[in-house]
Amino acid sequence: MTEFLAPATLARVAPVVQVPAYDRAKVGVGIVHFGPGAFHRVHQAWFVEKLLATDPRWGICAVSLRNPDVRDALAPQQGLYTLVSLDETTSYQVIGALKEVLVAPENPQSVLDRLCAPHTRVVTITVTEKGYCLGAQGTLDFEHPDILQDIRNPRSPTSLIGFLVEALERRKAAGLEPLTIISCDNLVDNGSRLGRAVVQLAEQRGRELAGWIERNVCFPRTMVDSITPATTSALRERVENALGLADRWPVQREGFVQWVLEDRLLPDGPDWAAAGVIITDDVAAYDRAKLRLLNGAHSTLAYLGLLCGHETVLEAMADPELSLFVSTMMRQEILPAVKAPRGLDLEVYIEAILKRFRNPALRHALGQIAWDGSQKIPFRLLGTITDNLAAGRPIDRMCTAIAAWMHFVRRKALINERVVDPLAAKLFDIGLACENRGSTDVPAFLTLETVFPSPLVANEQFRFALTRAYDALASGR
């Protein structure tokens, strides 16, 4: 009979595996995290793990806004899971930072109770771009069904923003300390956008609450980075062989991991710097460099690589033509639109990114990177295109990446599949109607107002370059 990872079996884990170096029974919950997917478990939870041996206040209550999958997998293991770090050598670590996993739709009041507990001081968030319910201009989308629901029924929220506003109103009424709320998603100016959305929804309840939030709640900007392939059956088998125990949901990432956090934090919070977090007043420069150079290149590899028949980042980078295309795009089209953070050489950074893409220990599926393209493309590519148009710089390779996304959608529709995307239904309809011709297909995609800003759609140079790129790729069918 297979034995699983759990507190009762932790002592039998193989010596090669690092295990929690603290008494988990003494760990309290001081952080609420929304979005307990793989990235949170390889990133923020790993940083928190480093703190718990000296400061046990910062255990994590993880909250899923949608489904119970993580809770169902980790509850029998009392939150324990294995993190596999893939580098020149592979390492294994059992993480104990997750003390609790809640599923918001099942019991929103339990989530609010955690958010309103006096010892809760920090909220962290990884819900992807779509979880913020933002419109094309980066402000709260008051037509979003979850936001409409939260306006109608604010005491039992549905959305991330709804939970935050309700919790902050309760903390204000109870005279509790405010919160530091940290977005860890790939949004440009993520902290400011989150804070603005929270204030916008709070204003529906009155200016007094909105003003209190503006004066007291901190929404620091952040940049996070670590390539995180999805969990596979091969990973589960590998972990079981290493631990001598089965793990229902191990996670994996590359060896490189980075967290940059704006020096805008409330007192008496975690000592993030002690855990290796970079605290700075220049997050925007780090964020833009990562979002445009790394994430923009990643999405480009995904859509072009899939069109070429590749399955993983490593396979795509082994394609000499595709590898040259991406590296040239980074240097000639993206680099001129990026301001270097203090102390960061962008040419060295580009070389490091390309080396990370070629990590032979990683099997990062292009199909996973391709998810949620309608949410990622505006931040990863369209912002750079807009800047380059204004400055008279080239955009052709980035337009090829956008055109590859359009063909990705079209080809999925041809085999009667919907892409994984918040706009899946609309994209499927557009894909079905496509004729594999830029003159008809590109305008249909450009009607997606939440993806393509109207000034960009109206730009003739952009439309021409995008149509030409679409037609150039069309011969691949």
What pLDDT is stored for residue 461 in this prediction? 98
Residue 266 CA to chain centroid, in angstroms?
24
Q: Using DSSP bridges, classify how beta strands 98-103 and 59-64 pair: parallel, antiparallel or unpaired.
A: parallel
Residue reference for tokens 């109207």: 454
Q: What pLDDT is stored for residue 188 in this prediction?
A: 80
Eight-state DSSP code of residue 282: -
State the alpha helices, DSSP H only, in 11-61. Answer: 38-42, 44-52
Q: What is the pTM of this model?
A: 0.81
239 in Cβ contact with 205 (< 8 Å): no
d(CA 144, CA 141): 5
Burial of 320 (0-12, 13-18, 19+ CB in 10 A): exposed
Select from 210, 388, 398 the least CA-distant residue to 304: 398
Residues 6+ apart with CB under 8 A from 201: 140, 147, 150, 151, 161, 162, 165
SS3 content of the chain, % helix, strand, coil (to 5): 50, 15, 35
Tokens 């931040």 appear where?
379
**Alpha carbon distance 388, 408 (integer Å):** 25
CA separation for the pair 46, 95 (Å, rounded): 7
User: CB atoms < 10 A from the CB of 302, how many?
Assistant: 27
Spatial distance between the Cα atoms of 120 and 413, rounded to a whole number of angstroms: 46
Which letter, b or e, does each residue of 57-90 get, where b requires 16 or more Cβ atoms within 10 Å of its Cβ? bbbbbbbbbeeeebbebbeebbbbbbbbbbeeee
Q: How far, in Å, CA of 191 to CA of 223, rounded?
A: 10
Q: Are strands 258-262 and 278-280 parallel, antiparallel or unpaired?
A: parallel
Residues 6+ apart with CB under 8 A from 335: 293, 346, 347, 350
Lookup: tokens for 424: 């899946």
Give the residue carrying structure tokens 């069918």: 477
Classify 260 as helix, strand or coil.
strand
Radius of gyration, CA atoms only, the chain: 22
In whole angstroms, give the CA distance from residue 306 to residue 299: 11
User: Could you give all domains of the chain from N- to C-terminal order, each with its CATH number?
Assistant: 10-280 (3.40.50.720), 284-474 (1.10.1040.10)
**Whole-angstrom Cα distance, residue 199 to residue 55?**
32
In sequence order, the 6+-apart residues with CB closer than 8 A to the CB of 345 are none
Q: For the segment 412-442, what is each residue's pLDDT rounded down to a tens digit?
A: 999 999 999 999 999 999 999 999 999 999 9
The separation between CA 230 and the C-alpha centre of its own chain, rounded to angstroms, equals 13
Give a three-class secondary structure readout of 144-170: CHHHHHHHHCCCCCCCHHHHHHHHHHH
Is 114 within 8 Å of 102 (Cβ atoms)? Answer: yes
Please give the structure tokens belonging to residue 395. Answer: 């955009």
- Residue by residue, pLDDT tens for the chain (477 residues) are 689 999 999 999 999 999 999 999 999 999 999 999 999 999 999 999 999 999 999 999 999 999 999 999 999 999 999 999 998 899 999 999 999 999 999 999 999 999 999 999 999 999 998 999 998 788 999 999 999 999 999 999 999 999 999 999 999 999 999 999 999 998 888 999 999 999 999 999 999 999 999 999 999 999 999 999 999 999 999 999 999 999 999 999 999 999 999 999 999 999 999 999 999 998 989 988 999 999 999 999 999 999 999 999 999 999 999 999 999 999 999 999 999 988 789 999 999 999 999 999 888 899 999 999 999 999 999 999 999 999 999 999 999 999 999 999 999 999 999 999 999 999 999 999 999 999 999 999 999 999 999 999 999 999 999 999 999 999 875
